[in-house]
Amino acid sequence: MFPQPWIFIPAIIATSLLMSSLVKPFPEADKVKHLPQQSPVSFQQFAGYVPVDDNNQRALFYYFVEAQSNPSSKPLVLWLNGGPGCTSVGIGAFTEHGPFVTNQGEALQKNQYSWNKEANILYLDSPAGVGFSYSLNLSFYKTLNDEVTGHYVPQLAELIIKTKLNFNLKGIAIGNPLLDFDTDMNSVDEYYWSHGIITDHAYKIKTSICNSSRLLREYFTGRQLSNDCLLAAQKVSEEYSFTSFIDPYYVIGDRCLSYNVSQAGFLKEMLSSGMFQFRNSHDVLQTQEPDQQVDECILKYSEKYLNRKDVQKALHARVVGSNNYRLCSKIVLANYDPLNREIPTINVVGFLVKSGLRVIVYSGDQDSVIPFMGTRRLVDKLAKKAGLKTTVPYSAWFVDKQVNNIVLPPFTATVDGDERSTDGDWTQRPTTQFEAAPRKDAPAATDSGDSVEGRPPRTGQVWSTLKSMDPEAARAARESLDLAFHMSNILDTGLDRHTLSVLIALCDLGVNPEALAAVVKELRKEKPSLFPHVTMLPQSFTMIATIFFVLAQTIVGVSSLPESDKISNLPGQPQVKFQQFSGHITVDDQNQRALFYYFTEAEEDPASKPLVLWLNGGPGCSSIGVGAFGEHGPFRPSDNNVLEKNDYSWNKEANVLYLESPAGVGFSYSSNKSFYGLVTDEITARDNLVFLQRWFSKFPEYSNNDFFITGESYGGHYVPQLAQLIVQTKTNFNLKGIAIGNPLLEFNSDFNARSEYFWAHGLISDSTLEILTTVCNYSSIRRQLQNGNLEVVCAKANKQLYDEVSDYVDEYDVTLDVCLSSVNQQAYVLNQLQETQKIDVCVGDKTTTYLNRKEVQEALHAKLVGVTKWSTCSSVLHYDYRNLEIPTIPILGSLAKSGIRVLVYSGDQDSVIPLTSSRYLVNGLAKEIGLETTVAYRAWFEEKQVAGWTQTYGNILSYATIRGASHEAPFTQPQRSLLLLKTFLQGKQLPTDKISTLPGQPHVKFQQYSGYITVDDQHQRALFYYFVEAQKHPTSKPVVLWLNGGPGCSSVGVGALIENGPFRPRDNNVLEKNHYSWNIVANVLYLESPAGVGFSYSSNKSFYTLVTDEITARDNLVFLQRWFIEFPEYSNNAFFITGESYAGHYAPQLAQLIVQTKSKINLKGIAIGNPLMEFDTDLNSKAEFFWSHGLISDSTYDLFTKVCNYSTIRRQMISGNLSEICENIDTLVFTEVSNYIDQYDVTLDVCLSSVNGQAYVLNQMQKIQKIDVCVDDKAVNYLNRKDVQEALHAKLVGVSKWSICSKVLHYDRTNLEIPTISILGSLVNSKIRVLVYSGDQDSVIPLMGSRSLVNGLAKELGLNTTGAYRAWFEGKQVGGWTQVYGDILSYATIRGASHEAPFSQPKRSLQLLKAFLEGKPLPAVK
């Protein structure tokens, strides 16, 4: 949130107006004796009011906590939260870094990282109106601006200096601050793109057409947005579901699902306005820190706590002008001068630096509201402008041996010709002007969003370590350096840093340095080429491989029978019901080359589950050690030598086969050691194919199961190359698809994306990025390293890169702040270019320890051949690194063309193979092979949280990100990875639309879904749907599509919530069950169509200008085709199209298009109620109905039928030339009918419900619109609730409010005259059953016209009456009348029903539907 500031002031109290003279003379009166549910503390607390304007009774509230020890010697820190209008007490003190945090709003628990460990902290609620602060003169709120409140910290500090107040001001620090409107706002676009939130296309639109600062400026100045900016805003809004799914202040974190609060006040009004549909909340999220857990809903608890009367009494506080205490003030936000946001405070920061104040600007690197890129640029620019020299290069900083991210360090400043200095350790860093980008890991410095205080240990270190470097980091560095020198001295020669780091790692594993050095000395004598002055990549591997070879023993033997491969039980394994197998399969009999496998059957029903082969990368890393025991196998080793169950094991969904390949990896081996000399992709693929052929011979029961090949990293070569070989050799495997995670697909693209990723995540500076993109890019560095000819300029760029990134960042998960697990080693080959290998701060590797136990190897039927120890990545294998440059992206294209489904996915925290490259490559491939987007780029969900983003092309090629995941996604995000696998295996789309529960909904057992299906990718036109599964046996029930009419009225608002859906809204904000819901007999799909209706939209607003029946039918067909892709389990169910009113056009035209295009939709019939089918007949029957129901006189009836009929009146009104005589007759008719009759149910004597709106178009001829006596429309109110829209995954695009019937859509009214009765005839001829029904109390489309048209159609088609016109029954009562023609065309009335029959006669309407779906006649009298 911004701005979020704090300021050092060694005075007792300071206010935004600096009214220090008004401090109470007796602070004892403000002493807080004890807060409710507070544990005992030794420090003192004070709270109360300081008047700042006696005349207008304006007072500011403060909360002051003394330092925990020696308060008189500690500095005083003033903390001000931002907004404008958010409380420093509620957010800063009780949520972020105060001495206590609330537990569920009840008890207080100590914050062990409270800032009062280092300072006296003063929290100030400012300006008046915020928190407990107040003004009794309400006119004060009309004058709020920066002059009153301060913007906040820099301007307050500036005022202190300029007014020469006697405060001992030393410095200021501000986090994620708004410093310069254009720079800060425009960095948002870059942040979205670089973090995988928007597509390349959207990023191009935002940056080239209308950037964020222009967009916001247009909005805040109150002008109508330009077309460019509307397009840009909507594009981002569609792709980034800010409304409810992502916290923009902490994009990687989950969100509190029960609470919204915004501190970013100036954005809130925009975000809640409907223009962006961004989510107007900030949630403090759960950290993974084991020693203190911060609840993601802590803001909710803080507000609850501070609303307690006993708490307010203890704080000497009172709520003035409001019923409840709020974290952010509505009145302040509403009245704050919006022009103040464009005041550049970076200039004020410069003034403060020149005045000798120390300044720190810091950024939570997961904040997209004020991204660190803009802040970093501004600080760097300011330093240059002020002539400050870099005194410490851009580098990582540490907490507890972990990188807390990157520091753009202090500078030396010269003021008035003299170098400014301060006391102590800061003498060499006089101004301490720098910007820190705390790294991801919690709602704080690491894993931090806009609020970096939520992770106490890191942020406390931000300012407590200003005086010294991290001693632990220095000690660890010294230890490593000492060991390196020790090895060099033993060997009596210099080694390159890479080789030394490998030797150091071996020492860490327990190898005696002297013994290891002796082996190296002998090898140097025998093979001096292994030890050049600068060790090249392959040579380093050869050297280490030879070391292991000297130490190894060779054991030969291959298992043959599957029973001998069965695992009885793994040591320390919990009891399981599934079977496990492992062993060796020979792939080269002559050279005794054998590959080792581990196979776990599915937990349930393995015979019917698919078979998944998993291949880890490297090249040269173990699928068993990494994949099975580190990522997604059934067990994970723990510290106490036992295995723990993996709750997200992939064998929950499939039989999983882990293969260690090629030979030399893990337990796989070659007795002929010359094999290891140079292994290639071609050899690996060939051996893998032989393995599979022989494995299936061992396990023939799986030969017909669906087969999938999966993997990650260098599996981007292994997997597609093996699949290609299977296809080319026509091997009899039932190969269905491949899935590869963070894969190496194209050398240049993948490696060059790394520098952009480092920069976008704050790991390198702007200048380093420029060098890596313009001087020597990453692929060039890598290529030169492999060839042994690293140029000086590239070596310098490489060194600068890794000096900034540091050796303490896990590049496979740049946010991971845990033990660098062995799962990371597989990408080591892809990362060897750095001069110093990453230091693994975890000495013990559980997987390595476990797999090196003798009893484990015996249980696995494994043996070590040629090596003495199992290792995660091979120490003997020499892979041909030229193979890294083989592009495999074309192979994916050939597989897709062969009908093999392809999924590429990216853990979005991986910098080794960044998502930006993979996404770009897949998108380019789709264009190259002519695949259209079938699922637009959008968020997908795991439960209620965004799990990533996905896009599908041609229903055969897909891309997805996994949010918060590393290079080894199943290791860091196991639940999301399992869900990704499940949907891929099932051929489904990733879940985006499942509804957990609707607000106020009663408990139900059936599933509900809602969301968007894009029907026009180019113009971003998307239709909204709501789908309810049948209450029982949904898979066997038909699918019924429901379309409301208008044209332009909502099927969700009218059909689902008022007519035949499972719930109906009530006055008390709850939904009640509809006991006659149509999902009792069918799965019902409600579609808001065309775009512009309800939640459906078009980003291209020109679409709305003239929509036709043809466009609507075409979009509806595309919708259905893509919807069935997302719900393939219903693709074979019987399908029916139903609707009412203008759906007399929609339904038959859609059905006709399905038949004509031969779409694979199992269409069985259509049913339309009170439908417009023939303009003259339907409209002219109105006179007959009015007269026959006593609404008009005989004389008026004569005029209405003989002089000027209704179709003529309506036709003239559409063309704009209503004649005088017709106008007089029209006036006469509606004078007699009156404006107080519901024409959609002439007998209805109740509130005129919003259901009547859909037929308004058909009734526009009246001069005075009908008066709706119901002010409160429950359906409209319900669907306009934010929580309801969030639950429905719905958003408002181009409108500020949901409405029953569209206010933006302009339908071509000439289409009303298109006759659709003839289309019904063609459908009947195509064996599609047709039912036309009429609510008999409707005067808009009266039953007379419909009955006449159906009867005439039957005669035209030569259909005999097979069911004579008769009454039909619902129970013992007449339900209506019916007639059947040729058992394929039917007509029925529903007695007592309106234009919207299921609304007024729900039970009879359900009976009608049930009989139609079953193909049975309506019941006769019993």
* Positions marked active-site: 1141, 1338, 1395
Listed in sequence order, the residues at least 6 apart from 305 whose beta carbon sits closer than 8 Å to its beta carbon are 94, 102, 105, 106, 108, 311
Look up residue 1332 and give its DSSP letter. E
> What gap in Å lies between CA 1367 and CA 1262, rounded to an integer?
35
Q: Which of 865, 821, 358 lies closest to 631, judged by CA?
A: 821
- Number of CB atoms found within 10 A of residue 316's CB: 17
The CB density around residue 751, as the number of other CB atoms within 10 Å, is 25
The 3-state DSSP class for residue 110 equals strand
Interatomic CA distance for residues 637 and 649, integer angstroms: 14
Are 507 and 483 a contacting pair, CB within 8 Å? yes
First and final C-alpha spacing in the chain: 70
277 Rama sector, left if φ>0, alpha if ψ -120 to 50, beta otherwise: left
* 800: nearest Cα among 412, 395, 406, 408: 395
Looking at residue 335, its amino acid is: N
Q: What does the DSSP assignment read for 52-83? A: EETTTTEEEEEEEE--SS-GGGS-EEEE---T
| CA gap 695, 731 in Å, rounded | 13
599 Cβ contact list (under 8 Å, min separation 6): 565, 580, 581, 582, 655, 656, 657, 658, 699
Q: Which residue has the tokens 């890991």?
A: 441
Exposed (0-12), middle (13-18) or buried (19+): which is 1221, by Cβ within 10 Å? exposed
Who contacts 1005 (Cβ-Cβ below 8 Å, separation ≥6)?
1031
Is residue 457 within 8 Å of residue 446, measured between CB atoms?
Answer: no
The single-letter code of the amino acid at 1300 is I
At 528, the amino acid letter reads P
CA distance 1219 to 1207: 13
475 Cβ neighbours under 8 A, 6+ residues apart: none
- For residue 56, the tally of other CB atoms under 10 A from its CB is 15
Angle, CA of 1116, 1122 and 1123, to the nearest 5°:
80
Helices (H) and strands (E) in the chain, counts: 41, 45
CA 1228, 1234, 1239, 1241 torsion: positive or negative? negative
Please state the φ and ψ torsions of residue 1032, each to the nearest 5 degrees.
Answer: -140, 140
Residue 55's CB is within 10 A of a number of other CB atoms, namely: 6
CB within 8 Å of 510: residues ≥ 6 apart: none
Query: Other C-beta atoms within 10 Å of 505: how many?
Result: 16
As given in the structure block, the two tokens for residue 1199 are: 């005029």
Question: What six digits make up the tokens of 790?
Answer: 């690293």
Residue 501 to residues 403, 479, 496, 820, Cα–Cα distance (Å): 19, 12, 9, 16
Q: What angle do CA 1247, 1081, 1072 make, to 5 degrees?
A: 40
